[in-house]
């Protein structure tokens, strides 16, 4: 009984709120750029879902939607990967700066 109660509150607090906020996003922004960005997010989400959910053959207008959804997914996953690589490189640069500063201090060059 506890697991059932937990799962229902977990769904309503996490998954349902994500769906509602994605649907509200195009209408929240104050400027035209914010609204266009939200609309692009909403359309991209729907097209990405058509790529993942529907299993019928992608032909005609539906095929264009599936291919566009695939492009949205590839671009967003590529962006997330590039962000992770840049984050790792910035950690490496910080660590190298610390090592080089330590070497300079040990050798008395500072």
Instruction: Judge whether residue 11 has pLDDT over 80.
Output: no
The predicted structure's pLDDT at residue 110: 58
How many residues does the structure list for the chain? 110
Mean pLDDT of 3-14: 75
- CB atoms closer than 10 angstroms to residue 34: 14
* pLDDT above 70 as % of the chain: 96
Contact 22, 43 (CB under 8 A): no
Please indicate, yes or no, whether the overall pTM of this predicted structure exceeds 0.85: no
Per-residue pLDDT of 27-49, as tens digits, reads: 776 788 888 888 888 888 888 88
Look at residue 104 and give its three-state secondary structure.
Answer: helix
């Amino acid at each position: 009984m506890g697991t059932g109660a937990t799962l229902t509150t977990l769904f309503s607090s996490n998954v349902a709120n994500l769906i509602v906020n994605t649907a509200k996003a195009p209408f929240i922004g104050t400027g035209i750029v914010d609204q266009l960005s939200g609309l692009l997010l909403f359309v991209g989400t729907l097209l990405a879902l058509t790529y993942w959910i529907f299993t019928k053959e992608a032909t005609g207008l539906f095929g264009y939607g599936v291919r566009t959804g695939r492009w949205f997914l590839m671009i967003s996953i590529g962006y997330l990967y590039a962000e992770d690589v840049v984050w790792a490189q910035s950690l490496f640069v910080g660590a190298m700066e610390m090592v080089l500063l330590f070497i300079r201090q040990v050798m008395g060059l500072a």
